[in-house]
Amino acid sequence: MLREVDVLIIGGGPAGVETYRALAALRRNKSLKIELVRREEKSIVPCGIPYTGVSVPLDRNVIPDARLGIRAAIDVVTEVDPDRGVARTAGGTTYKYRHLVLATGSVSTEPRFEGSDRAGIFKVVKDLEYLRRMWNYIRQARRVAVVGGGPVGIEFADELRRMEREVVLIELMPRLLPTAFDPEFGELARAQLVELDVDVRLGTAVVRALGEGRVEAVELGDGQRIPVDAVLWAAGMRPDTALAAAAGIKLGPTGAIAVDRRMETSHSGVYAVGDCAEKAHFITGRPVWFGSSSLAAHEARIAAGSILGLEWEGGGALCALITVVGDIALGRVGVTEEEARQAGIKVAVGKASAVDKHPPELPGARNILAKLIFNASDGGLIGAEVAAGKHGGEIINILAALVRRRATAREVYLGQFATQPWVTASPIAYPIIRAAENAIVTHGLR
């Protein structure tokens, strides 16, 4: 069967759905034909996967197609010919398109230890039935090993404790969140997990899974064996570029699909958005791969504008991220202090802490730690990290806006923010302002 469309979108995750939604909302020509093809009957919300053990029903953690006005064709695209503007599916449909959007997302890396094919060893897979089998197995387990101390790993560990499972979290690096946050924030995550009775093992790796047919223990690099009933591999994702690579579309140095500032690939009229696409870092300009649903949605809107002739361009990836463990939210944006120094940027750092309500005696008050990273040469804000209560996500989003406009320490310090006793820190102890003040006083920024 031949179908002619103006825009063909491959992939039904946040990037594909937001491309479809933005095109439908922004198009002036209402006859523009948009088709989204995905392999899943229901598309899962990736960020919610760690919480589908007990916090949210698995079948409710799906993208609401009807509410968003999305109509998807359930099929698998097996071949793309970008020179002819043709795509073919396993179901026998041939698409002729004017514009193609690749939103194929990311997939889990493979467990890197002996015996990883034993029953009871799982990966982070964006598929409802796979996750259903995984959780059903884990519900019969007493102790679970989570491999990987990044955001996804600590969120799974947190959820497993809510399920009253014994949890051992194993991270190869000597600290948690090693590629996302500076060390002091990784330590906050570790302390919170220890408080939740998670057994945190740092600076070691699983080298072998043991058991007769199913996993019964894991062996660490030092020879220690830990009895477990299940293993969850959360040690990384990678861009899904198989379709693009087979079509001859250029990949970048990170292994993701190379794109320009309009999200267009090496082939005219072919775009890539979300986890399958490479990014240019907003601060350093270097190519990076950063998996994030919020960044995917941002890139989808840029691609939609480009297709519609609006000539929108992205400024690069801010690499904003929020993770929650226990009662604290950790957020980052731009570059961390460690990342800035690795990029050869001389930094001026300001820190401050405050309580998120005023007076602090109000019920439920929590501490906020704010760390601002300025470029010592021009005083521009290039990064920020925050630890706060669960509302802390909005603090990092404020800082994301300030990083995007490269606000100086003085501009941050003289900024105006609304405050209210129940929902913010005091106006005379607002952590963003106090951290900017600390940088000004300590480093002489003006």
CATH code of the domain in which 362 resides? 3.30.390.30
**Does residue 386 sit within a domain?**
yes
Determine, yes or no, domain membership for 312. no
Looking at the structure, tell me whether residues 428 and 368 fall in a common domain. Answer: yes
Task: Identify whether residues 407 and 434 lie together within a single domain.
Answer: yes
Residues 74 and 138 in one domain: no
Phi, psi of 394 (to 5 degrees): -70, -25
Assign residue 167 the CATH number of its domain: 3.50.50.60
**Residue 338 included in any domain:** yes
Each residue of 213-262: pLDDT tens digit?
999 999 999 999 999 999 999 999 999 999 999 999 999 999 999 999 99
Does residue 319 sit within a domain?
A: no
**Distance between CA atoms of 326 and 295, rounded to whole angstroms?**
25
- Under the banding of pLDDT at 50, 70 and 90, the label for residue 407 is very high
User: Percent of the chain, pLDDT > 90?
Assistant: 95
Chosen domain end from 276, 307, 338: 307
Q: Which domain holds residue 436?
A: 329-443
Q: Give the pLDDT score at 311.
A: 83
End-to-end CA distance of the chain: 66
- Clarify whether residues 266 and 206 are in a common domain: no
Q: How many CB atoms lie within 10 A of CB 81?
A: 12
Q: How many domains does the chain have?
A: 3
In a shared domain, residues 147 and 182:
yes
Q: Is residue 314 part of a domain?
A: no
The arithmetic mean of pLDDT across residues 106-111, rounded, is 97
For residue 114, tell me if it sits in a domain.
yes
Do 98 and 44 have their domain in common?
A: yes
Q: Are residues 246 and 296 in the same domain?
A: yes
Together in a domain, 138 and 226: yes
Is 322 within the bounds of a domain?
no
Q: Same domain for 211 and 247? A: no
In sequence order, the 6+-apart residues with CB closer than 8 A to the CB of 269 are 82, 85, 98, 99, 100
Q: Are residues 22 and 115 in the same domain?
A: no
Chain segment 342-380, per-residue pLDDT in tens: 999 999 999 999 999 999 999 999 999 999 999 999 999
User: Do 114 and 91 share a domain, yes or no?
Assistant: no
pLDDT of the residue at 391: 73
pLDDT greater than 90 at residue 29: no
Instruction: Provide the mean pLDDT of the chain.
Output: 96
Residue 23: what pLDDT? 97
Q: At which of 235, 264, 284 does a domain end?
A: 235
| Same domain as 297, residue 363 | no
In a domain, 297, yes or no: yes
Given 235, 252, 269, which residue is the final one in a domain?
Answer: 235
Q: pLDDT tens across 415-429, in order?
A: 999 999 999 999 999
Backbone phi, psi, residue 96, to 5°: -110, 120
